Amino acid sequence: MIDLHTHSLLSDGCLLPSELVRRAEVKGYKAIAITDHADFSNIDFIIPRIVKTCKMLNKYWKIKSIPGVEITHVPPECIKDLVRFARRKGAKIVVGHGETVSEPVIPGTNRAFIEAGVSILAHPGKIKERDVRLAKSKGVFLEITTRKSHLKTNRRLIRLALKHNAPILVNTDTHAPGDLISSRKRDKFLTSLGVKKKDVRKIAENPRRLI
């Protein structure tokens, strides 16, 4: 299992970054990105700390720790500059907090993140079909999430992504230890959404393509 969207207590998760990585390793993960929520108030604080932690853990543990960030609830007009700033600070995975149906994310956020070239557009809700096509052209990965609050739109997103051959992957959006899943559970999750076996294999390999 490779999971590229997780949270520690540096934002709204409940584990220290090192404990989050250790629990993922025990769960059988090969790699994990720590992508805590950030806006203007904390982005310059959390990224260097995640970078430092990942660098240290990668010296001693087999699991690969990847420093990242999830840019969350910011004006679409500011997204491009924050994405650039995040990368300058050392974020290897930049997640855009997409227009989920469970939160009041500003309309236009999905497209702004895609245009800014984020690594992953997280739980993008009722994404417009034209934005799925744009994500493909920009190489932005669209996220299918196992998090309960974002499940409602997964089937539609899979259908559109497969239709346009846009890159998709499965992440957990982990906030607590119980959110972490195994590769077997990931595959079962995709199958439950009606994904064919050949597409399950393809989706499972996409995180490796990204990192």
Answer whether residue 152 shows pLDDT above 90: no
What average pLDDT does the structure give for the chain? 97
What's the rounded Cα separation, in Å, for the pair 168 and 158? 8
pLDDT of residue 74: 98
What does the pLDDT look like over 35-93, one tens digit per residue? Answer: 999 999 999 999 999 999 999 999 999 999 999 999 999 999 999 999 999 999 999 99
And the tokens for 18?
């090192």
Q: What is the mean pLDDT of residues 4-16?
A: 98
What does the pLDDT look like over 165-207, one tens digit per residue? Answer: 999 999 999 999 999 999 999 999 999 999 999 999 999 999 9
pLDDT of residue 109: 98
DSSP string covering 156-173: HHHHHHHHHT--EEEE--
pLDDT of residue 4: 98
And the tokens for 58?
């990668």
CB contact set of 77 (below 8 Å; sequence gap of 6+)? 112
pLDDT of residue 138: 97
Q: What percent of the chain has pLDDT over 90?
A: 97
Tallying the residues shown for the chain, one arrives at 211
pLDDT of residue 149: 82
Q: What is the mean pLDDT of residues 136-164?
A: 94
Q: What is the CATH number of domain 2-210?
A: 3.20.20.140
Cα-based angle 149, 28, 91 (whole degrees, multiple of 5): 65
Answer whether residue 148 shows pLDDT above 90: no
And the tokens for 41?
């108030």
pLDDT of residue 151: 83
